[in-house]
């Protein structure tokens, strides 16, 4: 049987043969930054996604020009990919040259669980990437406690396939408190046993707390920001050594948007950090946060692969109806041995939407019951006499209707504009009309224009063009 790694390599060799290859000798220390558009212009290539630049060790670099981007088509993920190997890794995709892209789920040498974060803008493929991880956990007997903070819509197929499944910010906090308590209990129990580390399935299972849309929990203005950052930090510090890991999937472009904790920053520098398509301002933030070495450069991941930049003569009709985002899943594994090599996740699920659960994703999970037992969510006791009690109360997941609900934080103008544009480009007048009907506070045209200008500088909204429409970057 042909292995998944061989299939990926065969795909590159047979369908994406290198058209041109240039081996470069660079100045000492390598190339610390370059203009990709200028390089494409020099090579007379009008589709930037066809040109791949990679800095090697020392003073060597390579530029490869392909007929089409070698990651434009990717095979479907297989059950064999999801099986954890002897190094505690699963195969999640392929680098542009066919080398398998792996994610470490367990470190057999230390026994540690991992700390994983997946960054990316809207539509970059975070949810599908997370589905692969969740399915792999179930297939390998790893217990998962999931908070899907998009109301359960981000990874809907996970419901019934994980031990714990929650959907609100309040429930996510109850889950984090329960996970930290479980980690502390294991820590104390292992100390009494004279054990210094975690042994998988002896007697405890490997477990993961997964927070999807973690930016909603940790961003400025969240009522749980400080406590959530502290709990995640504690899981990253104590939990991993007792077999309880943490996974965050977020749209944040800066760690300050994920709690701003120095300990959290250090935790992620040592974990598995995967960056999908990003905004134009994220590069400096990654360097500043220490997730990308100073001077390193990542080739941009375009929203649309294969789109050539050509000047059209006045009055020449241009048909762009077939153009649509097609780079979902393209990424960089920043903490791997190849942090600046472009890669892509295997195809996960069906290409076309379904009226209900995606059958291909459900097949990845399998029909067996998920391993482990649901956590009993922990919530703070109600206030009595103006002061909190020192006692800890525990509530079952099914008791959510009895819990005190906190009001949702009002959306900012930035969030409202980005939400309005998620369904497609709008004129300024149509955008104002949409904002008037979204239930938020009334906004003035001048305020909207200022916010749009700021979003353009951040790369979240595309520059002005002849159409006059406002569109996501």
- Asked whether residue 209 is assigned to any structural domain, the reply reads yes
pLDDT, tens digit, for every residue of 282-318? Answer: 655 665 566 666 556 778 888 888 766 666 667 677 6
| Same domain, yes or no: 60 and 93 | no
- The structure tokens listed for 380 are 């703070």
What values do phi and psi take at 425, rounded to 5?
Answer: -60, 150
Which residue range is the domain that position 140 belongs to?
Answer: 89-304+326-365
Q: Under a CB-based contact definition with an 8 Å cutoff, are residues 245 and 113 in contact?
A: yes
| Same domain, yes or no: 38 and 120 | no
Measured CA to CA, the distance from residue 29 to residue 63 in angstroms comes to: 17
| Same domain, yes or no: 137 and 200 | yes
Please give the mean pLDDT across all residues of the chain.
Answer: 81
| Same domain, yes or no: 108 and 221 | yes
pLDDT score recorded for residue 210: 97
- Asked whether residue 76 is assigned to any structural domain, the reply reads no
Residues 6+ apart with CB under 8 A from 86: 108
Q: Under a CB-based contact definition with an 8 Å cutoff, are residues 247 and 133 in contact?
A: yes
Lowest-confidence pick of 240-244, 347-351, 364-368, 379-383: 379-383
- Give yes or no for residue 161 having a pLDDT over 80: yes
Residue 180: give its domain's CATH number. 3.40.50.300
| Same domain, yes or no: 22 and 164 | no
- Give yes or no for residue 424 having a pLDDT over 50: yes
- Asked whether residue 391 is assigned to any structural domain, the reply reads no
- Asked whether residue 313 is assigned to any structural domain, the reply reads no
| Same domain, yes or no: 40 and 144 | no
Question: Band of the pLDDT at 413, cuts 50, 70, 90?
Answer: confident
Q: How many domains does the chain have?
A: 3
Specify which of 113-122, 241-250, 443-452 reaches the highest per-range mean pLDDT. 241-250
- Asked whether residue 405 is assigned to any structural domain, the reply reads no
| Same domain, yes or no: 59 and 98 | no
- The structure tokens listed for 350 are 């069906």
| Same domain, yes or no: 53 and 137 | no
User: How far apart, in Å, are the Cα atoms of 147 and each of 153, 154, 165, 273?
Assistant: 11, 10, 6, 19
pLDDT, tens digit, for every residue of 308-333? Answer: 666 666 767 766 666 666 889 999 99
- Asked whether residue 73 is assigned to any structural domain, the reply reads no
| Same domain, yes or no: 124 and 198 | yes
| Same domain, yes or no: 134 and 265 | yes
| Same domain, yes or no: 239 and 107 | yes
CB count in 10 Å sphere of residue 132: 24
HSE at residue 368, side-chain half, CA atoms within 13 A, is 10
pLDDT score recorded for residue 296: 65
| Same domain, yes or no: 54 and 103 | no
- Give yes or no for residue 386 having a pLDDT over 50: no
Q: Under a CB-based contact definition with an 8 Å cutoff, are residues 89 and 104 in contact?
A: yes
Q: Scan for tokens 């990874």, then name that residue.
A: 155
User: Which is nearest to 136 in space by CA: 217, 79, 86, 193?
Assistant: 79
The share of the chain scoring above pLDDT 90, in percent, equals 37
- The structure tokens listed for 216 are 């909603």
């Amino acid at each position: 049987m042909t292995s998944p790694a061989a299939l990926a390599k065969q795909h590159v060799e047979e369908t994406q043969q290198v058209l041109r290859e240039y081996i470069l000798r660079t100045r000492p220390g390598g190339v610390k930054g370059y203009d990709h558009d200028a390089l494409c212009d020099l090579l007379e290539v009008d589709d930037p996604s066809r040109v791949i630049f990679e800095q090697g060790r020392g003073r060597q670099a390579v530029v490869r020009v392909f007929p089409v981007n070698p990651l434009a088509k990717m095979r479907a993920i297989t059950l064999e990919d999801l099986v954890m190997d002897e190094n505690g890794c699963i195969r999640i995709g392929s680098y542009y040259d066919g080398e398998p892209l792996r994610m470490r789920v367990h470190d057999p040498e230390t026994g540690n669980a991992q700390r994983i974060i997946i960054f990316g803008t809207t539509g970059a493929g975070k949810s599908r990437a997370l589905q692969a991880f969740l399915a792999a956990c179930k297939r390998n007997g790893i217990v998962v406690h999931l908070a899907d903070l998009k109301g359960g819509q981000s990874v809907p197929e996970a419901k019934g396939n994980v031990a714990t499944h929650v959907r609100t910010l309040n429930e996510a906090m109850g889950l984090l408190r329960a996970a930290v308590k479980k980690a502390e209990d294991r820590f104390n129990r292992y100390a009494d046993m004279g054990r210094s580390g975690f042994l998988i399935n002896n007697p405890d299972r490997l477990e993961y707390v997964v927070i999807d849309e973690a930016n909603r929990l940790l961003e400025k203005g969240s009522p749980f920001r400080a406590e959530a950052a502290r709990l995640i930090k504690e899981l990253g510090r104590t939990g991993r050594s007792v077999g309880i890991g943490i996974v965050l999937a977020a749209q944040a472009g800066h760690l300050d948007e994920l709690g701003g904790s120095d300990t959290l920053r250090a935790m992620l520098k040592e974990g598995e950090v995967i960056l999908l398509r990003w905004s134009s301002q994220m590069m400096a933030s990654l360097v500043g946060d220490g997730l990308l070495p100073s001077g390193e450069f990542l080739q941009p991941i375009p929203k649309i692969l294969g789109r050539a930049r050509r000047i059209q003569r006045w009055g020449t009709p241009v048909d762009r109806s077939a153009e649509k985002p097609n780079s979902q899943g393209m990424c960089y594994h920043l903490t791997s041995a190849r942090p600046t090599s472009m890669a892509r996740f295997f195809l996960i699920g069906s290409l076309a939407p379904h009226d209900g659960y995606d059958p291909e994703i459900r097949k990845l999970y399998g029909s067996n019951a998920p391993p482990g037992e649901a956590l009993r969510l922990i919530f703070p006791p109600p206030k009595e006499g103006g002061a909190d009690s020192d006692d800890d109360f525990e509530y079952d997941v099914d008791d959510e209707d009895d819990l005190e609900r906190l009001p949702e934080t009002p959306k900012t103008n930035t969030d409202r504009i980005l939400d309005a544009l998620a369904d497609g480009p709008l004129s300024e007048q149509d955008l104002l009309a949409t904002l008037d009907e979204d239930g938020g506070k009334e906004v003035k045209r001048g305020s909207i224009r200022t916010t749009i200008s700021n979003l353009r500088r951040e790369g979240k909204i595309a520059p002005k063009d002849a159409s006059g429409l406002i569109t996501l970057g």
